[in-house]
Chains A and B, each alone.
Chain A
C-alpha cells in the first residue's frame, strides 16, 4: 500500500530523528562522564545511520512519492522563495474588477539587482492559512490579477518570474460563475503577448489548467521532485476507474515527473534538489533556483523583444507527439 502523505512516507526517518533529538537531550543532562561518552558515541552512529537511510530513501523516489514530496507541508512555498531570492517585494492585490484572490500572489521586486515581476501560487501551512489561500486553488480573479501584473511587467519592461505550485484551479460554483476557464485562457494568452522574458519554475505541484495559466513562459524549469500534470492523479483515477484511491497507480501512468516532461521537450531544465528534498535544506534549493533564473535570464537578455516573443511561440508550437500516416 502506498503512503498517502509525505509525513507517512518519511515516517521512519521522522521517528529516527525524534529519537536522535531525545538522545541528545539525554546526553546533555547525563552527569556520569562515561555514560555521556557512550551516549554521544551512539548518537554519532545514529546520525550516520540516519544519513544513510535518508540517502537510500531519496535515491529511488517513485512517481507517487514525488507527488507526496511536491505536496509536502514542509516544502518551501512561493513566499519562501520570494523572501530568500528577492528584495523590495511589494504584494499587489486585486483584479480591479470587484474581486481579490489569495491563492495567486504577485508584485514587483528586485532580483539579482534588477526589477522583475513575480507571480506565483501560494499554499498555506496550517488550516487557517490553507483556508485563506484556498489550498492554492486560484479563482478567476487570481488569473485576472496575473494578467494585470503581466501587463504592468510589459509596460515597465520587467522580466516575469512565475512560481507554480497549485493542485488545480478552483472548481467551485463561484469560479464557474465568474468564468474560470476564460480567466485561465486569457492569462495563458497574455503570457504569449509579452515581449519581456518570462521564466516559470514549477516548485511543487503543477496542477493542470491552474498551472498553465501562469506557466506559458520563455523558459520552464522544474524542481527535481516537483510534478506537472494534466490532471491530479486522484482525479485521473476517479475518471478512469471511478476509484480516486488508486492515485498512486494513476501517478505512474500519467508520467507527471520532471524527467518525463524533459524527455518530451516540454520543460527546459530540471533543477536538482538537495538530498532529502528542498524542504530539508531550503537554503540549497533557494540557491539552485536563483542560479538557474540568473542563467536563463542572461540568455534571454540577448534577444530583442521580437525575438523573445518568436522564441516563446516556437517553443510551444513544437509541443506534441503524433504519427504522420502515409496514404
Chain B
C-alpha cells in the first residue's frame, strides 16, 4: 500500500484511508474489507496475549548450498529490509493464558519461500508442541518452496509433514491459518494437513502459481480460482475468519481441541 503520513490507498479498491483508522481496523480496508499483508510482529501483537511472545531459533541463517546465482544478494537484501534471517518467526506465546507454540510467516521476506531455515523453524515449532505439550498454531504466507535451495527445499516439505504426523501421534492439536498468499510447496505440505485450517478472507491459496500454470498450459480459470472462498466451497478448508475475529476463534479452538492438555496439572 502507498503510505504517506496520514493517508494511504487500499491495495484492492484504491480508496483513500486514514492511517490511524487503518491500523485500528487491523489493516483491513474499511470500504472493501481487503486484508492487507502484515508483518509477523504485527500479527503476533494482534493475535496473542500481550507481551507473551518469546522468540526462539533466531540463530538460523540460510547459506547458499547450491551456489545459486544471485541468491546471496537476494537474501542479504531481505535480511536488511526485515532485520531477520527468515520469513518465519517462531517461539512460545500464550492465548488467553494457554501456552501455544507458534510460527508466523512474513511474506515480505523473499515471498515467504520455504528453504532449509524455514523448514527447520516450522519443524521445530511443531516439535516444540509435542515436547511442551501445547497446541501449535502456524500462520502461513508463502509463494512456495525456495527454488534457490533446490532439492533441499523440496525435502523441507517431507520434513515438516513428518513433524505434523508426530504431532498427531502425540495428540497435539495443530491449527494452520492461510494468509495471503499460501501457495505451492507450503500448501502441499505442512499447511494442508493441519487439524483445523482457517483462512483470511480473499487470501490467495493454490498449488500452481500463475507463471507455472501458464507454462503448463492452464488457461481458462474461474473468477474465484485459488482464493480462500474457492477452497471453502470445495471443502479444502474449515472456515474463513476475518482478522478481527481471529484471536477469539483461535482461543475457542485451543480451548476445545487442546482441552486435554490444559486439565489441572496437565498444563505446562
* A189 touching B211 in the complex, CB below 8 Å, given contacts A209-B188, A320-B120, A323-B61: no
* A253 touching B60 in the complex, CB below 8 Å, given contacts A168-B216, A188-B158, A261-B151: no
Shortest distance from the beta carbon of B154 to any chain A beta carbon, whole Å:
4
Chain A residues within 8 Å of B120, by CB: 320, 322
Whether A239 contacts B211 by the Cβ 8 Å rule is yes
Chain A residues within 8 Å of B60, by CB: 322-325
Shortest distance from the beta carbon of A190 to any chain B beta carbon, whole Å:
9
Q: In this assembly, does B152 line the interface, its C-beta being within 8 Å of a C-beta of chain A? A: yes
Whether B236 contacts A179 by the Cβ 8 Å rule is yes
Whether B152 contacts A266 by the Cβ 8 Å rule is yes
Q: List 23 A-B contacts (CB under 8 A).
A: A169-B188, A171-B207, A171-B218, A172-B218, A176-B225, A179-B192, A182-B193, A185-B193, A186-B193, A189-B161, A189-B193, A209-B188, A211-B154, A230-B146, A230-B147, A235-B211, A236-B147, A239-B211, A240-B147, A244-B215, A319-B152, A320-B159, A321-B116
Chain A residues within 8 Å of B216, by CB: 168, 171-172
Inter-chain CA distance A234–B217, complex, in Å, is: 13
* A254 touching B211 in the complex, CB below 8 Å, given contacts A321-B65, A324-B59: no
With A185-B190, A236-B147 given, name 17 new contacts (CB 8 A): A176-B226, A177-B230, A179-B234, A179-B235, A181-B206, A182-B193, A185-B157, A216-B158, A216-B162, A238-B211, A238-B214, A266-B151, A320-B116, A320-B120, A320-B152, A325-B59, A326-B59
Whether B164 contacts A212 by the Cβ 8 Å rule is no
The 8 Å CB contact of A323, one of B62, B188, B214, is: B62
Chain B residues within 8 Å of A192, by CB: 158, 161-162, 165
Binding site for B on A (CB under 8 A): 168-169, 171-173, 175-182, 184-186, 188-189, 192-193, 208-209, 211-213, 215-216, 228-232, 234-236, 238-240, 242, 244, 253-256, 260-261, 264, 266, 312-313, 316-317, 319-327
Chain A residues within 8 Å of B221, by CB: 173
The 8 Å CB contact of B208, one of A171, A213, A229, is: A171
Count: A-B pairs, CB below 8 Å: 200
Inter-chain CA distance A253–B69, complex, in Å, is: 7
Whether B192 contacts A317 by the Cβ 8 Å rule is no
Whether A320 contacts B119 by the Cβ 8 Å rule is yes
Whether A255 contacts B162 by the Cβ 8 Å rule is no
Which residue, of A234, A242, A323, has the highest number of chain B Cβ atoms within 10 A?
A: A323
Whether B66 contacts A189 by the Cβ 8 Å rule is no
The 8 Å CB contact of B153, one of A211, A230, A235, A238, is: A230
Task: Classify the secondary structure of A's interface with B.
Answer: helix
Shortest distance from the beta carbon of B49 to any chain A beta carbon, whole Å:
26
Inter-chain CA distance A266–B154, complex, in Å, is: 10
The 8 Å CB contact of A212, one of B59, B154, B222, B236, is: B154
Inter-chain CA distance A260–B146, complex, in Å, is: 17
Q: In this assembly, does B179 line the interface, its C-beta being within 8 Å of a C-beta of chain A? A: no
Whether A181 contacts B162 by the Cβ 8 Å rule is no
Whether B190 contacts A229 by the Cβ 8 Å rule is no
Shortest distance from the beta carbon of A5 to any chain B beta carbon, whole Å:
17
Whether B162 contacts A313 by the Cβ 8 Å rule is yes
Inter-chain CA distance A208–B207, complex, in Å, is: 12
Whether B192 contacts A182 by the Cβ 8 Å rule is yes
* A319 touching B218 in the complex, CB below 8 Å, given contacts A176-B226, A177-B234, A185-B189: no
Whether A319 contacts B211 by the Cβ 8 Å rule is no
Inter-chain CA distance A228–B208, complex, in Å, is: 18
Whether B157 contacts A176 by the Cβ 8 Å rule is no
Whether A230 contacts B158 by the Cβ 8 Å rule is no
The 8 Å CB contact of B145, one of A188, A208, A240, is: A208
Whether A216 contacts B161 by the Cβ 8 Å rule is yes
Shortest distance from the beta carbon of B150 to any chain A beta carbon, whole Å:
5
Whether B151 contacts A209 by the Cβ 8 Å rule is no
Q: In this assembly, does B212 line the interface, its C-beta being within 8 Å of a C-beta of chain A? A: yes
* A182 touching B236 in the complex, CB below 8 Å, given contacts A189-B165, A316-B158, A322-B62: yes
Chain A residues within 8 Å of B61, by CB: 322-325
